[in-house]
């Protein structure tokens, strides 16, 4: 029996694209626009607790696997 692949939650993806960094050197930057080196630093030092940490972990996985392009269609609809 084959399992159906789990699709990402569109509301969560939208939240990832709309959330801004609340502190630090890149305060007010959209999480998706944070430099990869900064996200990797969090990966080494530890992500913050709570929803921000979960979103940063998600951004890390997206950037690590080169999947930013998959979010571009959503970003384009947000700008309209």
Residue-wise pLDDT for 1-19, tens only, equals 567 777 678 889 999 999 9
Which pTM was predicted? 0.84
Q: From the CB of residue 55, how many other CB atoms can be counted at a distance below 10 Å? A: 19
What confidence tier does 75 reach under pLDDT thresholds 50, 70, 90?
confident
* Per-residue confidence (pLDDT) for residue 71, from 0 to 100: 86
Buried (b) or exposed (e) across 26-40, using 16+ Cβ within 10 A? Answer: eeeeebbebeeebbe
What torsion, rounded to 10 degrees, do the Cα atoms 11, 3, 56, 79 define?
-40
* Per-residue confidence (pLDDT) for residue 2, from 0 to 100: 66
Q: Are 16 and 32 in contact (CB under 8 A)?
A: yes
């Amino acid at each position: 029996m084959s399992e159906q692949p789990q699709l990402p939650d569109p509301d969560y993806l939208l939240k990832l694209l709309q959330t801004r960094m609340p502190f630090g050197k890149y305060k007010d930057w959209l999480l998706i626009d944070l430099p990869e080196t900064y996200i990797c630093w969090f990966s080494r030092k530890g992500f913050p607790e709570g929803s921000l940490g979960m979103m940063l972990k998600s951004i890390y996985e997206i950037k690590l696997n080169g999947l930013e392009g998959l979010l571009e269609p959503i970003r384009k609809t947000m700008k309209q």
